[in-house]
Amino acid sequence: MTIDGTARRADARRNVESILEAATALLATDPAVSVNEIARAAGVGRVTLYGHFPSRAALVEAVSRRVIASTDQALDAVDLDGDAREAMARLLAATWQLTYRFGAIVVAASDALTPEEMRRVHEEPARRMRALVERGRDEGVFRRDMPLSWQLTTVQAVLHGASAAVHRGDVPADDATRLVTDTVLAALAVTSSG
């Protein structure tokens, strides 16, 4: 292995990383963004980009795989122990960030992903949410006069409503975590009748 070869490989790794970062940021807000715009934002030429990713579809696929891996990591990092309401606030904040930042990318890439990958994208967050709502119900801090499945429907509906409202410009993105969290916790909370 020559010094030249090592330097070239380090360069290539940096370029791939820059391309993936730029593509992730741009695809999240504009799923139709062009390869030229991605190359420009990454600070590489078109030829370099196509040297690493032979087609736009291959790049979108690589971006979505990376997003899925970082989603799993982000959810794994959420502390789900302790008071169920506080754990729910942490899980909602993480889930909201992922929904808002990466939702469009996963939709754009859905043709390229395997059924197993699509299942992971949708079911992993849902599985954690279900387990936490169940624990809150068992511990008496979340209401039990509604079916668990309805409560999960409500959480999903509020997350998607928030994403649409932010993209429409009705709600500032910085306020969304607090609004989603306060609204879901209020909907789940035990009431005098619950």
- 59 in contact with a copy of itself (CB under 8 A): no
- 174 in contact with a copy of itself (CB under 8 A): no
DSSP calls for the chain: --HHHHHHHHHHHHHHHHHHHHHHHHHHH-TT--HHHHHHHHT--HHHHHHH-SSHHHHHHHHHHHHHHHHHHHHHTS---S-HHHHHHHHHHHHHHHHHHHHHHHHHTTTTS-HHHHHHHHHHHHHHHHHHHHHHHHTTSB--SS-HHHHHHHHHHHHHHHHHHHHHTSS-HHHHHHHHHHHHHHHHB--S--
- 162 in contact with a copy of itself (CB under 8 A): yes
In the complex, least distance from residue 24 CB atom to a copy of itself, rounded to whole angstroms? 27
In the complex, least distance from residue 109 CB atom to a copy of itself, rounded to whole angstroms? 23
In the complex, least distance from residue 134 CB atom to a copy of itself, rounded to whole angstroms? 16
- 11 in contact with a copy of itself (CB under 8 A): no
In the complex, least distance from residue 193 CB atom to a copy of itself, rounded to whole angstroms? 8
- Under rule CB under 8 A, which residues in 115-154 are in contact with a copy of itself? 143, 145-147, 149-150, 153-154
- 187 in contact with a copy of itself (CB under 8 A): yes
In the complex, least distance from residue 175 CB atom to a copy of itself, rounded to whole angstroms? 8
Residues that bind a copy of itself (CB under 8 A): 143, 145-147, 149-150, 153-154, 156-158, 160-162, 164-165, 170-171, 175, 179, 182-183, 186-187, 189, 191
